[in-house]
Chains A and B, each alone.
Chain A
Amino acid sequence: MTKILVIAEHLDGKLNGATARAVSAAVATTPESIDVIVLSDAPEAIAAEAAKIEGVSKVLTVARAENAHGLAAVLAPQIAKAAAGYSHVFAPSTTFGKDLAPRVAALLGVSQVSDVMSVEGSHTFKRPIYAGNAIVTVEVDAASTVVATIRTASWPAAASTNSSASVEALTLDVTLPSHTRFVDLQQGKSDRPDLQGAAKVVSGGRGVGSKENFEIIYKFADKIGAGVGASRAAVDAGYCPNEMQVGQTGKIIAPELYMAIGISGAIQHLTGIKDAGTIVAINKDGEAPIFEIADIGLVGDLFKILPELEAAIGQ
């Protein structure tokens, strides 16, 4: 019997959109039930949000003061305990899920399927390796619990419904370690659309040249209502913060429109945007590899083109 436990990701009392994407992958596995587990110091509001996701049978809450900061070492033993009776445990393939799920898998004595792109059967999945340059089909032994992270860019968010699944409080008898402590979280504050959920994303690369120059990218993104990303080279050079990095080792995204500006198109960057709807490249070098995969290319100086684009778009 297929019963799936989905680990909810949340921050500041709000459910993260990646959770509903993991639920989509759970739905594709056609299980008997999909339960979402919320571990927090105050799970109620988050659970209420999760209960509205289409396909969810039940939401389980684990309220403990220690769960305030989502530390893997603290959450994993609770999830491993709660996983009894489930055939699958899914988490989104975000830094939260990547940190936590392998720790859960090891406690359950199983390997993990990382970055599930498609579900081929209850125990058969496709996932990328070599920065997405090969896609493998993997089969998990039918007798083992499947622990998997879900590549969020491959899955739409499951819809939200008006009816609510039931919410049940769980008490787990688990002693929690005190060897790991949260100190702080410096969040980039931005009113722009979240990179991982945005329909449009404008990214700048080394070609932008400096932190000051990066304003031209923000300005253009605001003009078209886009989220802002960057190449690793731009982040390494200090033009923008780390959470903006797109690629193999940054965020994997699938916006409807992706505009790469002053980005050469290294394989590790392309890994992050393979699933984008339309890719636009603006680069002064007509030979840049980005043009090999761009749907629309424009050769020229970004500092000249971006103001022209703004003018052409009009008010």
Chain B
Amino acid sequence: MKILVGYKRVVDYNVRIQVKPDGSGVVTDGVKLSANPFDDIALEEALRLREKGLAEEVVIVGIGPADLTAHLRNGLAMGANRAIHVQTTDAVSPLAAARTFLKLIEKEQPSLVILGKQAIDDDANQTGQMLAALWDRPQATFASKVEIAGGKVTVTREVDAGLETIEAELPAVITTDLRLNEPRFIKLPDIMKAKSKPIDVIELGSLGVEVADHIKTTHYAAPPKRSKGVMVKDAAELVAALKQKGLL
């Protein structure tokens, strides 16, 4: 069985994002970039399935500009067998990303596709569900536990009401939640080994994917700031302050 994993590069989660004064975007120059945390979890899960003998090959996919190579090398160092780099300098909408994955699926025929539940830059939380729809296959989003047996995958999902378990026939799309696993750290020898692993580069334009987007981002703004409030010195003062606001 082959597993395809979404491996998106995003602004590191520790970076405090600044909106450009003219509202044309956010400042990304010189900002630290890392793998989307949910995608590290997706890759870790795929590697564990391979280590359990349930999969033979783990292929990571990155859609983005030419300098994505170093990021993909990290995924290879973590343990992926190979990488596919779909090259484009344009912003790719979740629908276009899903259409791109579908093209790769037609070629690669994976039994399982694991994506992050959301990318922490745009927080769209769409790509996996859209891919499952276009592929006409099951989706198991927000996964916190994955078990594969007998051509089926059983997934525990983190939902608002608690934990939902569903069962889906393979092939299927899974999107990861934070508690699915803890991704491993990359070791130095693995970085060396990763240098010889293959990265296929495909031009997005050559895939015949419809990328035109009917949603335009016209303005970026900083969120309204909450101002620093008051400090109280003890429980009695706190209760008095809350009573005064009518909250107790």
A-to-B contact residues, CB < 8 Å? 11, 71-73, 76, 94-96, 98-107, 109-115, 124, 128-141, 143-144, 177, 179-188, 196, 200, 224, 232, 235-236, 241-243, 248-249, 251, 256-257, 267-268, 274, 277-280, 291-300, 305, 308-309, 311-313
Contact = CB atoms under 8 A, between A and B. Distances in A.
A112 B129 CA distance: 11
Given A103-B129, A111-B95, A95 B160 contact: yes
Which 7 A-B pairs have CB atoms at the shortest separation, nearest pair first? A308-B235, A141-B214, A295-B229, A102-B129, A106-B130, A106-B133, A102-B126
Interface string B109-144: 000000001101111111111111110111111101
**Which one of B128, B130, B161, B218 has the greatest number of beta carbons of chain A within 10 Å?**
B161
A75 to B, nearest CB: 11
Nearest to A112: B126
B239 interface: yes
A135 B144 CA distance: 29
Contacts of A299: 231
Contacts of B223: 128, 132-135, 274
A139 B125 CA distance: 19
Contacts of B218: 124, 137-139
Given A133-B16, A133-B19, A308-B235, 12 more contacts: A110-B95, A114-B124, A135-B221, A138-B218, A236-B178, A236-B179, A267-B16, A295-B226, A296-B238, A298-B237, A305-B235, A309-B239
B39 interface: no
B187 interface: no
A106 B178 CA distance: 25
A291 B213 CA distance: 41
A103 to B, nearest CB: 4
Contacts of B16: 133, 267
A249 B178 contact: yes
A152 to B, nearest CB: 10
B66 interface: no
B242 A257 contact: yes
**Most chain B beta carbons < 10 A, residue from A130, A183, A187:** A130
Given A114-B124, A131-B123, A248-B120, A296 B230 contact: yes
Contacts of A268: 13
Contacts of A295: 226, 229-230
